Structure 1
Amino acid sequence: MTPLSRRTAVAALAAVTSVALAGTAVAAHRVRPLPLAHAHNDYLHPRPLHDALDHGFTSVEADVFLVDGELLVAHEPARLDPSRTLRSLYLDPLLARVSANHGSVYAGYRRPVQLLIDIKADGVAAYRELDRQLRPYRRMLSTVTAGRVHPGAVTPVVSGDRAARGPMEAQRVRHAFYDGRLDDLVAQTPAPAAFIPLVSSNWTQSFDWRGEGPFPAAERARLASIVGTAHARGQRIRFWATPDRPGPARDALWSELRAAGVDHINTDDLAGLRDFLNR
C-alpha cells in the first residue's frame, strides 16, 4: 500500500469510528428514564449502576457493609471485595454522569435518581461513615437543612439496619433520607416526608396474592389504602419480595402495582421491567 492510500484508509477508518461513536452517544441520550423502575440488588449485575441506567432505571439499590472504615458493596459477608466500594461503584460514576449531563443523571431529566443504600450491619457506625463519604458529593445530592428539602440529581435513601434512624434524626443537615416501613404510616406522630420520603415493605407480609387468578378485592382495597395514605403525606411506596419470574403472574402483579400508583416496581430483571413499562 502506498503512503497516500494508507493515509486515505486511515482517514476513512477514523471517519467510520467517529460516526460509530457519535451513534453510541446519541443512543445513550435516547434512553427513556422510567420513573417506576427500581433495580433490586443492582450490584449483582455485570456492570453495577451502568446496566440499570442503560435500561432507564431511576432507582438502584446497593447493600453495604462497614469494613475497616470503608463501605463495601455485597449481599453477604462472604462476597466482600475491597475493590467494590460504594464510592467506586456508585458515587463516583453518578458524579461523572451528573457533571457530563449538566446537573442530572439523564440528560434533560430533572427528577432525582434514587440511590437506596441498604445497611446490612452496624447501623450507627455504618451511617456515620456514609454521612462522611456523602459530603464531598453534596453538590449532586438532595439535602435537608433544618427540615427543608433541597432536591438534587441523586437522592440517597438509607434502608436496612434500623439503628441508623437515631443519628439521622439528630442531624440538622443531612445528605440522605430514611426508608420507612408500613408502621410509619400508622404512627401516632408520623415522620415528615422530608425525613421519610419512601416507605418500603415485604409484599408477602401484607398480601397473599402472587399474581395468579383475580386480585382479591380486600387486598386491592388494602393496597389502595396504603398508597393513598403515603401519597397524601408526600411519600412514595415500594414493595420487595414480589414475584420476579417472567410470566403472566408477574405481569399481572406488576399491572396491579402500576394501576394502584405504587411508585417503585422492584426487580432483578432489568430488561423485563423495561419492556413491561414501555408496553
Structure 2
Amino acid sequence: MIELWKNEQDENRWHPFSVLIKKELADHIRSFRFIILFVLVMLICVGSLYVVLSNIRETASDVDPESATLFLKIFTLSNGELPPYFALLGLIGPLVGISLGFDAINAEMNKRTLSRILAQPIARDAVINAKFLAAVIAVSIMILSLAFLMIGFGIWFIGIPPTFEEFLRIMIFTAVTIIYIAFWINLSIIFSTLFKQPATSALTCIAIWLFFSVFFNILIQFLSGSESGSAGSGWTYYLSQLSPTQIYSNVTSVLLTPGIRSTGPLSMGQVAGSIPTPLPLQQSLLVIWPHLTTLIAGTFICFGVAYLLFIRTEIRS
C-alpha cells in the first residue's frame, strides 16, 4: 500500500509538469512567431545549399579524398558573399532564442494568466522548467530537421554519404548549436522576469546580442591594435573568449574543420614539427573542451539566475 501511494504521488507530481510542457510546446509550434523563425532559418539553409551547388565541384578537386572532410564542406563552404551555414546559424541563432523567451514570464503576468496557473496545485518551479524545456524542444526540432535536410541534400548533390566521423561531427555541431541557443533563451527569460513589459526585455536582449556580435569584435580589434607584442595578442585573445558568440564560433570551426589544431594563437615551438593533417574527432574534442564547458556552464548559470528570479517574484492575482 505504501509503494502504491508513493507511485500515485509521483504520478500526481509529474502530471502537471508534462501538461505544462505540452501546452508551452504547442503554443510555440502553433505561433506565427515560430513559423517565421523557421522560415528564416530555412532561407539560411537554402542559401547555404546554393553556395554549395555553385562551388562544390571546385572544392572537391582540391580536397584530398583520404582526408574525409569533403562532406563537412557543405556546412563550411562560402563564396565570399554569403557566410557559411555554421556562421549564419551563429548569427541568427541568438535571435531564435530571444524570440522564444523574451515574453515567457511578463506576457503571462500582464495577461493575468500566470496567477491562474499557480492557483492550481502546480509547483512554481514546474512553470519555469516547463517554459525552458518547451523552448529547447522547439529549437531542437528546428535545428535537427535542418541538419538532416542539409545531410540529405549533401548526399544527393555529392553522391557519397558522410563517413561515421563526419556524421558524429555534424551531430555534435547540432547539439552545440542547441546549447548555444538555449543560452540566449535563458538570458531572455531573465529579462522577461526582471522587466514588466515584453518590449523592454526584447530590446535589452537584442542590445546584448548586437554588442557581442558586432561591437565586441570592434572593441577587441581596437585593443589588439593598441597593444604590441605577443603579450598584447594573448591578452586580447582571452578577452575575446568572454563573448558567447566567439566561443560558439571557436567550437563549431574546430568541429567542422578538422584541420584546425587550436582556437588561439600558436607559438613557433608549437608549430615546429607538426604535420598538416586533419585531427581525429577525439583530438578535436580535446581542443574545444574548455570552450564547450564554458558555453554549457554559462547556459546553466543563466538558467539558475532565471530560476531564482522567478521563484522570488511576487505574483498577484
The TM-score by the shorter chain falls in which range?
under 0.3
Structure 2 length-normalised TM: 0.25
Structure 1 length-normalised TM: 0.27
- Structure of larger gyration radius: 2
Larger helix fraction of residues: 2
Larger strand fraction of residues: 1
